[in-house]
Structure 1
Amino acid sequence: MVVKPIQRSSAAAKVFETLYEMIATGQFQRGQKLPSQDDLAKQFGVSRNTLREAINKLSAMGLLSSHQGIGTVVESPHPAGYLSALSGQFLLDPLSVREFIEARICIERNAVRLAVAHAKPEDLTRLRNNLMLQDRALKNQDTAEFTRQDADFHLELARICGNRVLLKFLQTIHDMLQRFIGEVSGLPGAVDDALRFHTRIADAIAAKDPDQAEQLVVRHLFDVVRRIESNLHIDLEKESLCGFKLIRSIPGATGARRSRKT
């Protein structure tokens, strides 16, 4: 298999993208041994160090594995490993941040409505226990523990909703979600506001109010958008993605801004 040389010298990312596409499209198939690193580096027109960086990233995603005496072999990846490997880069890329939050809005607003319909007393007890652990972590200024409990709160909503597909989706992105929350939790006021939103969401579920629960979830995620924009000086609203028109228009949403004229 011959690959085209990389034209630009930022190369590691381009090598990664090319190899990823070749694996995803079946040009390199599961169980197939890749050419030697020397050969691949020559075909791409990059150094071995650059090639190794791309291979290491693909290995972390579960797409490749190295075997003594054999070489580098194509594997069948697990989605959670793929997402976990990518999650550390999310706050470096505004588009990825926007898409991740949008995906959460699309999933979690529906999950919480189902949670209202299906919540049992024992489910509400688990939510309250989780909120107590969040509050304790907040008082102890333990951001790492708060991050774990924050991610578990959102996973608990999916458990309560009774839909196994939604639950599996959030379980798959759990590592990514926890790392994302960990980054956002370092921003001023983020932890306090998150706990307030979580408490009100639990109250809405207990009150059997699906509209209020859905609105609070969306406002909570909008608050994350606003906080990232204001503290990291990036604009997540360059494009109108589904969900963002809605959260901009919710009355009383924290930091809401007027819609832009077209």
Structure 2
Amino acid sequence: MKLQGIKPIENMTQVDRIEMNLHDYFRNENFLPGDSIPKEIELAEAMGVSRTAMREALTRFKTLGIIESKKNRGMVITEPDVLQNMNRVLNPQLLHQDTMQDFFELRLVIELGIADLLYVRKTDEDIKKLEEIVDKENAAKSKAEKLKWDIEFHATLYKISGNQTIERFQRTLMPVFDYMKNTLHIRSQEQTADYVSHKVLIQILKTGTVEDFRQGMYKHLMQYFEQIK
């Protein structure tokens, strides 16, 4: 039974509350990367907590890359590497199937979403690089070698987009994509009607429109989009 006006007791430790207070303090005081923060003892006294509890909370911030210790300056705010932190925890074997499905779908959406960036930033040299990859893929003797060049083709598209965050995010999601490919019942490309090959995608990049490429990539990944429910 849910009673109106009664809030549940937060299941938080003291260190959790200190961490939240520090987040609010850094944000409200507009701390920026490179700014020094008060000493551990000053923060502990201001919050009325022990130095041990404050030290544990600050250690969490250091682990996340939000603060670091500098010689002769004490602790300073740093720009956290969000994707590096994600890499540390993105283990497919530790994630729920629903979470894996969400990441899997996100990767597919990104594959379509970079089309606009590709058409703004692609060069003749980029097209040549893609053609060389396709030649190597077609000449591959084994399934493993073909897969290697398939991955290289898509990784190169991310590089052409010119967005380093998207490129790194693609590499971060690769273990999830591989895991889902091995877990789900994915039809082979040969079984997919209207399949668009890498070679055709390159031709679209040369002469087609952004929407042509987006539609081509959708057909290229059709067997994966079929897994979205």
Superposition TM-score tier, normalisation by shorter sequence = 0.5 to 0.7
Equivalent runs, 1:5-84 vs 2, <5 Å: 7-9=10-12, 19-20=22-23, 22-29=25-32, 30-36=34-40, 39=44, 43=49, 47=53, 50-51=56-57, 54-59=60-65, 63-68=66-71, 70-75=73-78, 77=79, 81-84=81-84
Rounded to whole Å, the distance in 1 between the matches of 2:53 and 2:135 is: 53
Cα pair distance change 1:66/1:218, threshold 3 Å: farther
2:85 maps to a residue whose letter is A
Q: Residue in 2 aligned with 1:201? A: 201
Which has the larger Rg? 2
Q: Residue in 1 aligned with 2:193? A: none
Offset, 1:216: 2.8
Cα pair distance change 1:256/1:73, threshold 3 Å: closer
Show structure 1 runs of 5+ residues with no match: 1-6, 159-166, 227-253, 258-262
Cα pair distance change 1:8/1:24, threshold 3 Å: same
| Residue deviations 1:43-68 (CA, integer Å, cap 9, x gap) | 49994685255223332xxx311135
Offset, 1:213: 1.0
Q: Residue in 2 aligned with 1:216? A: 216
| Residue deviations 1:101-144 (CA, integer Å, cap 9, x gap) | 487367413234547xx653x43211122345667597336978
Cα root mean square deviation, aligned: 4.9
C-alpha contact (below 8 Å) 1:108/1:217 kept by paired residues: no
- Count residues with an aligned counterpart: 202
| Secondary structure of residue in 2 paired with 1:72 | strand
TM-score, normalised via structure 2 length: 0.57
Residue 108, structure 1, aligned to residue 114, structure 2:
yes
Rounded to whole Å, the distance in 1 between the matches of 2:57 and 2:180 is: 35
| Secondary structure of residue in 2 paired with 1:32 | coil
Rounded to whole Å, the distance in 1 between the matches of 2:50 and 2:106 is: 32
TM-score, normalised via structure 1 length: 0.52
Show structure 2 runs of 5+ residues with no match: 1-9, 190-195
Offset, 1:178: 0.8
